[in-house]
Amino acid sequence: MSRTPDTWIIAAQCPSRLGTVDVLTRFLKEQRCYITELSSFDDRLGERFFIRAEFRPETDFDGEAFRQAFDPRAAEFAMDFELTAPGTRPRTVIMVSKADHCLNDLLYRYRIGQLPIDIRAVVSNHPDLEPLAAWHDLPYHHFPITPETKAQQEAHIRQVIEETGAELVILARYMQVLSPEMCTLLSGRAINIHHSLLPGFKGAKPYHQAYEKGVKLVGATAHYINNDLDEGPIITQGVEAVDHTHYPEDLVAKGRDVECLTLAKAIGYHIERRVFLYANRTVVFA
């Protein structure tokens, strides 16, 4: 990510009306804050305005005082805003099953400092990836699941999320359908990754089905979860061209690579407050 270590972020949305850019940029100027990056979008169909600014204070800066001073101006525009301090690393829980490629990629990015999150735990319905978590010195919670124990298993997961204070949950190829209650609990703070193939293939071995159909593209979609399986608000998507020389194992390998990159991008956008949720859609200042 291109963000510099000393910048703050303010992200806001409100109904579309005259002066929405001015109210924020004028206030930043008055507060002696230099804008290093500015993005905005007006949704003319939804009559909704979105704005994000990165800024560097040129004087002593108090985040709470800034919020309190901006509150009345934001209220005039019915503007919801969020202020993010430099160095913010959201407390994170990662959920996995048996596939290790996304987890391994995230832990590597985490270890080298490329992904600024604070991983508090790894949760899985299988024991297979515990050595990988242990190598990174991370707690690993194995909660097996059957149709009869689903409610109890999810209660254990909720306990881990609550005890760690997780602000972000990453489903890094967690191959279980979450209950409506869990989806509601994690709304807006849980990111999932899955393959994207056209035509769509469901069930076992989707890449093998894709090979039989002679697909020319493989891809991945990262999205927030909701109660519609794999149909939550999309954050980002990735795609890779393939052709007749790619056998099923080649499609699987390419799919893994795209999934890793797409998931990492989505997490980065989320952390940097580049994603705005509105209805069942997103506005993403990538």
Residues noted as catalytic? 230
CA distances from 159 to 7, 27, 141 (A): 34, 41, 11
Confirm if 259 and 107 have CB atoms less than 8 A apart. Answer: no
| Alpha carbon distance 276, 286 (integer Å) | 11
Round the CA-based radius of gyration of the chain to a whole number and report it: 21
Amino acid at 48: R
Q: Where are the alpha helices (DSSP H) in the chain?
A: 20-30, 63-76, 101-111, 130-135, 150-164, 180-185, 206-213, 248-271
Q: How far, in Å, CA of 54 to CA of 7, rounded?
A: 6
Reduce the DSSP state of residue 139 to 3 states and report it.
coil
What are the C-alpha distances in Å from 263 to residues 88, 122, 169, 219, 236? 19, 16, 12, 12, 8
Greatest extent of the chain over all pairs of C-alpha atoms, in Å: 63
Q: Using an 8 Å Cβ cutoff, are 179 and 157 in contact?
A: no
For residues 128 and 132, give the distance between their C-alpha atoms in angstroms, rounded to a whole number: 9
DSSP of 48-74: EEEEEEEEEESS---HHHHHHHHHHHH
Residue 178 CA to residue 145 CA, distance in Å, equals 12
CB under 8 Å to 247, separation ≥6 — which residues?
A: 211
